[in-house]
């Protein structure tokens, strides 16, 4: 193809403007602020469509309050069970059900399930303490940790019909449930073994599985994929360093770091392909991991969305489709730690080479792929025409094969 200089410049300008426009509407970073008279906030879970974020905020006198945030309503204080403290850690797929813990009028900590403005205490296993950490997609199954009559803290699984049921341990006296699969059948967390060592666990149909470590003495699971087949968390390696892990088919994979010695994984997408968490270098940094791109610093990938001095310190959860990431960081504009909602844009969908979606596969589409040639990662958008995590000859060939289509 031969172009005059003016023709090429016009195409270049069109391509650049298309890229700018796409970035503008498809990616955004929202700092969620704080509650009235508050000082800090932390996000822990996000609904499937990214419309609802839950976590907790620090208010007057250092009290912690569970919140539910929406773009239209802002940050809503979910209250307590009669005491002064509460925190939220899980939300259903549609954002209607929130779970966490709250202090009651007697000063006791109780797991709660919140829906339609009402906070329901879920009880205990016979002791004085409980907390909820995860909830199924439909909001019907809640998991967490509760004290029994003997004073032991045990992982539980709660349903309206069956109430709170203990899940046992790996031979020791302690366990905790941190997350549950979409259908509520698979529970993950950590438990003490007979030797007193804490191990990541995966529970299903009454059977608790020890997921092992990365060579060290400690591990815990924080997140699970929709079908329960992929588990993520943190584990010690042989050098005693904490590392984020991804477990599948009996194999625990070390996800590495961002140059430091430690990391932990907190959330995973529905298909298990995208993992988020925190890595520690000179300071904490939120990360996203994929098999094709490895561990990436969200502060680097989305630097254009951050004001000078702002830092995304930890990524706590990710939406099922991998698009929305929530966590906490430092908002330089307000000078405080705040919860954030990061919209990374639509996930990749393979197509015929119409990168700019104008119905015509033409020069502009070809130039966009050429300018991105060699780039890798999970957020390449439509320039990764075949969605394999890299812009290469395969993507160019698709554009060329379909060149002129729809024009």
Q: Please work out, in degrees rounded to the nearest 5, the angle formed at the alpha carbon of residue 214 by the alpha carbons of 210 and 219.
A: 50
Take residue 341 and report the two structure tokens written for it.
């909602």
Sign of CA dihedral 209, 211, 215, 216: negative
Rg (CA), the chain: 23
Distance CA 125, CA 151 (A): 10
Beta bridge partners of 315: 327
Sheet architecture: strand order including 336-343: 28-31, 336-343, 324-331, 311-318
Domains by residue range for the chain, with CATH: 30-343 (2.120.10.30), 350-401 (1.10.1330.10)
> CA-CA distance, 392 to 373, in Å (whole number)?
6
Cα 296 from chain centre: 14
pTM recorded for the entire structure: 0.84
Lowest mean pLDDT among 11-20, 236-245, 315-324: 11-20
CB atoms within 10 A of CB 350: 12
Task: Give the whole-number percent of the chain exceeding pLDDT 70.
Answer: 93
DSSP-assigned beta bridge partners for residue 170: 193
pLDDT for residue 309 is more than 80:
yes
In the structure encoding, which two tokens stand for residue 158, read together?
């709660």
Burial pattern 237-247, b for ≥16 Cβ within 10 A else e, equals: beeebbbbbbb
Rounded CA gap, 165 and 177, in Å?
A: 12
Per-residue pLDDT band at 378 (split at 50, 70, 90): low
- Report pLDDT digits (tens) over 24-58: 346 999 999 999 989 999 999 999 999 999 999 99
Which residues have C-beta within 8 Å of that of residue 296, sequence separation ≥ 6?
A: 287, 288, 289, 377
d(CA 118, CA 135): 16
* pLDDT band, residue 19 (cuts 50/70/90): very low
pLDDT digits (tens, 9 = 90+) for 112-166: 999 999 999 999 999 999 999 999 999 999 999 999 999 999 999 999 999 999 9
């Amino acid at each position: 193809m031969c172009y005059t200089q003016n023709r090429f410049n016009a195409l270049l300008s069109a391509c650049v403007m298309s890229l700018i426009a796409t970035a503008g509407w498809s990616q955004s970073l929202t700092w969620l602020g704080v509650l009235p008279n508050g000082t800090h906030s932390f996000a822990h879970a996000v609904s499937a469509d990214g419309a609802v974020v839950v976590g907790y905020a620090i208010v007057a006198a250092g009290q912690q309050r569970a919140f539910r945030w929406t773009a239209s309503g802002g940050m809503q204080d979910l209250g307590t069970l009669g005491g002064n403290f509460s925190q939220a850690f899980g939300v259903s797929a549609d954002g209607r059900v929130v779970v966490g813990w709250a202090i009651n009028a007697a000063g006791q900590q109780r797991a709660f399930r919140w829906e339609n403005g009402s906070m329901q205490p879920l009880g205990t296993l016979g002791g004085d303490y409980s907390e909820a950490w995860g909830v199924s997609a439909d909001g019907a199954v809640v998991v967490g940790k509760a004290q029994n009559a003997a004073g032991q803290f045990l992982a539980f699984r709660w349903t309206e019909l069956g109430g709170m049921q203990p899940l046992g341990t790996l031979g020791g006296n302690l366990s905790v449930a941190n997350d549950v699969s979409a259908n509520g059948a698979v529970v993950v967390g950590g438990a003490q073994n007979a030797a007193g060592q804490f191990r990541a666990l995966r529970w299903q149909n009454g059977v608790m599985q020890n997921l092992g470590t990365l060579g060290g003495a400690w591990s815990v699971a924080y997140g699970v994929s929709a079908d329960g087949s992929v588990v993520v968390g943190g584990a010690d390696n042989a050098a005693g360093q904490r590392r984020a892990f991804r477990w599948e088919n009996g194999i625990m994979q070390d996800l590495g770091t961002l140059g430091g010695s430690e990391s932990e994984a907190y959330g995973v997408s529905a298909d298990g392909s995208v993992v988020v968490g925190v890595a520690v270098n000179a300071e904490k940094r939120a990360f996203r991991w994929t098999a094709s791109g490895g561990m990436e610093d969200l502060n680097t990938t989305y630097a254009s969305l951050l004001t000078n001095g702002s830092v995304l310190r930890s990524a706590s959860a990710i939406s099922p489709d991998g698009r929305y990431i929530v966590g906490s960081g430092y908002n330089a504009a307000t000078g405080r730690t705040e919860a954030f909602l990061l919209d990374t844009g639509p996930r990749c969908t393979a197509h015929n080479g119409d990168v700019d979606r104008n119905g015509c596969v033409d020069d502009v589409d070809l130039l966009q792929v050429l300018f991105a040639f060699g780039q890798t990662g999970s957020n390449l958008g439509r320039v990764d025409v075949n969605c394999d995590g890299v812009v290469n000859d395969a993507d160019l060939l698709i554009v060329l094969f379909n060149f002129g289509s729809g024009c």
